[in-house]
Structure 1
């Protein structure tokens, strides 16, 4: 017998009031989920066409009454956020501003439109309180800013346009629709054409332009130093070191007392050396190696003992914590610590006694770890190798300490092999580098690839980082691990992995998107091996990286997916990363048997470090982009082979094969048809002739425009 009841002829059709009450009760009971019209009628058992139509009308009415909201197209949710929301304001120079509520910041499709007239002059990134406006039928939700709770950005970078009685700052980044007005007495000596850092001090309610004052003159626009400093200032990053902190650092003594040496393990008579980039001055890691009587190998990973010199809470420490990282632009390093420490006291320079925090390993011939210990040491580096010098030894078998370097490489390769067997992912991507003349102008582009000498160092650093994290985090089942700083990496985004799988299929590749973590990561590695050396290699590896989560710092350990480690931290670069300094201090504290620190406090420190790391990466990319545009600026009209590297509703991005410089072909220049953006299939498609431009397609392009101020290249298609 069927479970479904046959309706009686006498069954009453539900009235509008009945259905309204049912829908209101349904959303009150299920306030956290979104539902489509179809799901709502099914849940309420509404089967008649008239009832379904009535439900659609009621949903529209409830949206207008702000009882429910449309979260994505055709999906509805109880408006339990209320009419007043707090969140982040996103400003656009075209007046199309948006608001993202706090509770919706991690999901797509939660942006609410804010018209310029309703923005209360909120700036990009400000935390604001808004009121939801009555929703008009067929229109997106809108909000009005009631209050600016917290200013995110008050300083802006641009070029001064100086008139007789006043000036304007014409901004590099188009975040504001209007330039910043600067009264003459707020110019701080700035001249027409100078790049400047300007603070917005006021934006009167009825004024079109914000009013600002010059904080610093960066130099004449177009000069290399000016432009690099402007990039740093644009991201709110420091471009010079405070003199008083440099002076304080210079007072720290380099004397290592016999009393200090007595507290440490002495490695000064063990073969030790550093391997670093040829232009490096801050050597924060060294390796030592010797064979033990039992035939095993003792390998020491020695890390600069920065926290011996930088005391918690002093002015160097506070500045270091604020910066959180050294910044690497195309032509310079902006250090986290003063030069006296980063390049002097703490740097593990050859032929000098140096204080270290070390992880000492005992390994057998198969690189199995038999013992390890974490200890403070004193070392004496015998030699400073560049990666190129070490690589020559690996390739020829000849040179200083060749036996030791060859043995370390043998052990590193075995460690690496085990790591990949456990599911680590091999993203070996090239880095863009420039050969630069004395004025900072790029004269050629080259690519830096990781060779065995790089991988040798990397493997032992990974091992030390993992060992330190395990030492603190991997406690017995009935014990709670003490608060610690971990480097975590979440699983790939499932939807992005599906998109990657769909995208690579057109090139004839496959990838696993579900299964065990190890199976998926091995499948990614197989893909990366397959595409190696092909025309589409850079494109596919870029999209694969985008499918990955970002690695961040946290006190909550979820493991590191990309490295296939259950426990991982950053211990090996305290000269250039503040989290490593935190790890050194926590290690010392816990080795001394002291209590755990505040999880909440350290989580906020981790969040700050992650944010600063991201800003530094953005600045580095901006400096590369600037140099790419500068390099191409004297090649206008020249024709190159390229590949489509990105597709948006406003045009195609193409990357030149020989130098990886990327430019845009605006959609308005594709004038043989009306092209529409197909987001799902990563393509632009012509409405009439159905011509399709897809990611990875080869093109011939001509360099049309090079705009240095906007770091933007425009290309034209060559048929």
Structure 2
């Protein structure tokens, strides 16, 4: 079935590619290889290597390429008159995307296809199936008419009107909460159940802690120890211990669940953890990296239970200077489990269990935090939305997440452990040039910083000196402070974040720009991140005198982990977007006051009160005026009425549409208040 149509597709398939040139890309006649991005109109876009520009591929020149495919593209003309973009044509599809498409299965006689609703897939997919009676059963559900399925495109033969694919998962009835959350996970190629082989292997792992295990470790069971986590957390993978030493200094232990003691390399549980790469946190559920026995029981640092840990222990003076440090395996018994709200109350009032310990740790963390920012760490992040759901997963409220001092307390000690572990391996390990897994963050993109400078100037804000990385950080922090609480805060903050590189894992250490650390790794969350498991293993091997490990192998693992992390992040954001659109579904036609949060040539973005849920007013839907986007002054002007909309303009909007499948929220402009 072809709902969008494929006008000119036959001509497309007969068209020849452009001139073959070099492989650098971006110039007329040259070829580019890369991943193609597709919009709902069927247009393709591919980034030019080493450039911020992209090449646009018209529908007629896509040659059957689909979103996420690796393709070779010839640049056909220098600039497209309408958009000024480079234009190209797909020469061939080098590799089909491994990400499935989500659709509703339609069975009509012998024909079976998936009707796809996606902003990046304008075609339905014909299912490769000779007999509908033999449709697959996956996860205990048989594929059937009307059910949601995940489909992987295999090919697009020249004479077929749609791509051909196979069903890789049966997700359930459309509209049911589990079905929709599983659909998001499947869309990003993220598993949501463990195979029996993995569950059985986890169940066979012994829970017994032997005397030999205890003797091989430092015993911290007599030292005051506690955890601070979200109220609904079950996987407690870090704990803090605290005691005053006879010399007047303080000892702080950062104790991390010893996951790799239980999960051995190459076992079914380890292979599954590697494949997943990370736990995934959707609005209403956690998809763990490890089976429940490990993440919520065996490795979770629950109070009043003996637990095995891999620890970083620091002797600190009152000014938070590290006097001594020790890394090694330990056994602990946590005295208390706090949630962040409880710990925050103790910080604010000075009263409650372990109040003196928490007060002192908070003072140390405050010093660490100030030192980081003084050295050039970034001091801003985009606020996250929090969706509250009932027992059935239905959204009942939407708020903004708050990060308070209790969060900072834990954050600073985790940063200390991660930084010092990385520095220890790099500087003090006996192995020559030891291979290690670093968490790296490159310097900001200079071109994007200049875009930010121009953008900020339209609001009469100045981005200061960006001559070197440290000055960039100081200037960005100063800019963020100057826009705080103002209408333009959100878009300037968003553009500043876009100027930043994406943090990732690598065996090549270039430091972490955002944190202003020369050495940094991820050591503190092995229950939910596979790179932390790799770090534990490497640290243990080097402490035991091993030589440097295979760099190529670990670099491949780093790249895989970075990719899985990004998929998990995308899925988490998609679940928030889905639930916010679902929250607004029963509010169609209702009016809300809001604030203009973004402007483009096609629409006005508005955040409504009190939830701050953002939707778009399409300029095409405005019937009482003709609005034009003034890019130079970053405003939208009504030609008929003279109304001017800028960031922060107070408006009243009406909820027009809430498209759950595409996670799109449309508003209608009802009134310009200010």
Mark yes or no: TM-score above 0.5.
yes
Q: Partner residue of 1:617?
A: 569
1:148 aligns with 2:93: yes
SS in 2 for 1:464: helix
Q: Does 1:121 align with 2:75?
A: no
Residue aligning to 2:257:
304
CA separation of 1:565 and 1:254: change in aligned 2, threshold 3 A: same
Give unpaired runs (5+ residues) of structure 2: 1-17, 137-141
Q: 1:239 to 1:546 in 2, by over 3 A?
A: same
Q: Compute the displacement of 1:685 (Å).
A: 5.0
* Cα separation, partners in 2 of 1:86 and 1:645, compared to 1, 3 Å: same
Partner of 1:440, secondary structure, is coil
Shift of 1:167: 3.5
1:597 pairs, out of 543, 549, 553, with 549
CA distance in 2 between counterparts of 1:423 and 1:201 reads: 49
User: CA 1:148–1:534 in 2, change beyond 3 Å: closer, same or farther?
Assistant: closer
TM-score, L = length of structure 2? 0.89
> What secondary structure is seen at the aligned counterpart in 2 of 1:111?
strand
1:31 maps to none
Give the match for residue 305 of structure 2: 352
Report the TM-score when normalising by structure 1: 0.83
Counterparts of 1:84-99 in structure 2, within 5 Å, are 86-99=33-46
The answer to whether residue 140 in structure 2 is matched with residue 193 in structure 1 is no
Deviations 1:556-607 (A, max 9, x none): 1111111111111110001000111111111111112211122222222111
Q: Which has the larger radius of gyration?
A: 1
Q: Secondary structure at the match of 1:417?
A: helix
**1:201 & 1:421 partners in 2: Cα distance?**
53
* Distance (Å, rounded) in 2 between the aligned partners of 1:362 and 1:68: 58
Output aligned runs, 1:355-374, within 5 Å: 355-374=308-327
Runs (5+) with no aligned partner, structure 1: 1-63
Aligned residue among 264, 269, 277 for 1:324: 277
1:270 matched to 2:255: no
2:116: which partner in 1?
171
Label 1:161 to 1:653 Cα distance change in 2 as closer, same or farther (>3 A).
farther
Deviations 1:161-214 (A, max 9, x none): 343443431213143332122353454443443211123344332111223343
- Preserved CA contact (<8 Å) 1:66 1:134: no
1:514 partnered with 2:458: no
Check conservation: 2:491, 2:598, Cα contact below 8 A: no
Q: Does 1:579 align with 2:523?
A: no
Q: Could you tell me which residue of structure 2 aligns to residue 261 of structure 1? A: 214
Q: Deviations over 1:393-445 (max 9, x none)?
A: 11221221111111111111111121122121222553322221222111111
SS at match of 1:634: helix
Give yes or no for contact 1:485–1:582 (8 Å, CA) kept in 2: yes
Q: Which residue of 2 aligns with 1:109?
A: 53
Contact 1:474 1:481 in 2 (8 A): no
| Superposition misfits of 4+ residues, deviation over 6 angstroms | 64-72, 134-141, 687-690
Distance verdict in 2 for CA 1:638–1:565, change over 3 Å? same
- Where does residue 617 of structure 2 map in the other structure? 665
**Post-superposition shift, 1:662?**
1.2
- The superposition leaves residues 253-299 of structure 1 with CA deviations (integer Å, 9 ceiling, x where unpaired) of 01111111111111111001111001100000000000000000000
SS of residue paired to 1:474: helix
Q: Are 1:251 and 2:204 matched, yes or no?
A: yes
Structure 2 residue aligned with 1:48: none
More deviation, 131-140/534-543? 131-140
CA deviations over 1:41-99 (Å, ceiling 9, x no partner): xxxxxxxxxxxxxxxxxxxxxxx977799977xxxx586x5xx6543333444232345
Q: Which has the higher contact order (CA 8 A, sep 6+)?
A: 2
